[in-house]
Amino acid sequence: MAIITYREAIRQAMDEEMARDASVFLMGEEVAQYNGAYKVSQGLLEKYGPKRVLDTPITEEGFTGIGIGAAMVGLRPIVEWMTLNFSLMAFDQVISNAAKMRYMSGGQVKMPIVFRGPNGPAEFLAAQHSQALQSIYAHFPGLKVVAPATPHDAKGMLKTAIRDDNPVIFLEAEMLYGTTGEVPEEEYLIPFGQADIKRPGKDVTLVVHGKPLRMVLEAAKTLEGMGIDAEVVDLRSIRPLDEASIYRSVGTTNRCVVVDESWPFASVGSHVAWLVSKNCFDLLDAPVELVSSEEVPMPYNHRLELAVQPSVDKIVAAAKRVLYKV
Type of residue found at 176: L
Query: Is residue 302 annotated as part of the catalytic site, yes or no?
Result: no
Query: What is the per-residue pLDDT for 325?
Result: 60
Tens of pLDDT, residue by residue over 257-276, are: 999 999 999 999 999 999 99
pLDDT at 222 over 90: yes
Residue 81's nearest CA partner among 65, 104, 64, 106 is 64
Query: What is the per-residue pLDDT for 136?
Result: 97
- Pairing outcome for strands 76-80 and 53-55: unpaired
Question: For residue 277, how far is the Cα from the chain centroid?
Answer: 24
Q: Is residue 29 part of a domain?
A: yes
pLDDT at 52 over 60: yes
Query: What is the per-residue pLDDT for 251?
Result: 98
Q: Are residues 270 and 303 in the same domain?
A: yes
Q: Given phi > 0 = left and psi -120 to 50 = alpha, else beta, which region is 124? A: left
Confidence band of 314 (pLDDT split at 50, 70, 90): very high
Confidence band of 192 (pLDDT split at 50, 70, 90): very high
Query: What is the per-residue pLDDT for 150?
Result: 98
Burial class for 324, CB neighbours closer than 10 Å (0-12, 13-18, 19+) = exposed
Q: Is residue 189 part of a domain?
A: no
Q: Are residues 231 and 177 in the same domain?
A: no
Confidence band of 283 (pLDDT split at 50, 70, 90): very high
Q: Are residues 80 and 211 in the same domain?
A: no
Q: Are residues 20 and 150 in the same domain?
A: yes
Query: Is residue 16 annotated as part of the catalytic site, yes or no?
Result: no
Q: Are residues 85 and 12 in the same domain?
A: yes
* Tally of domains in the chain: 2
Mean pLDDT of 27-36: 97
Q: Mean pLDDT, the chain, as a whole number? A: 97
* CA atoms of 140 and 80, how far apart (whole Å): 20
- Last residue of some domain: 150, 183, 216? 183
**Residue among 129, 139, 224, 243 flagged as catalytic:** 129
**Residue among 60, 174, 261, 305 flagged as catalytic:** 60
Q: Is residue 72 part of a domain?
A: yes
Tell me the residue range of the domain where 160 lies.
Answer: 2-183
Query: What is the per-residue pLDDT for 4?
Result: 98
CA distances from residue 33 to 26, 49, 64, 89, 214 in whole angstroms, order as listed: 12, 10, 19, 23, 32
Confidence band of 46 (pLDDT split at 50, 70, 90): very high
pLDDT at 326 over 80: no
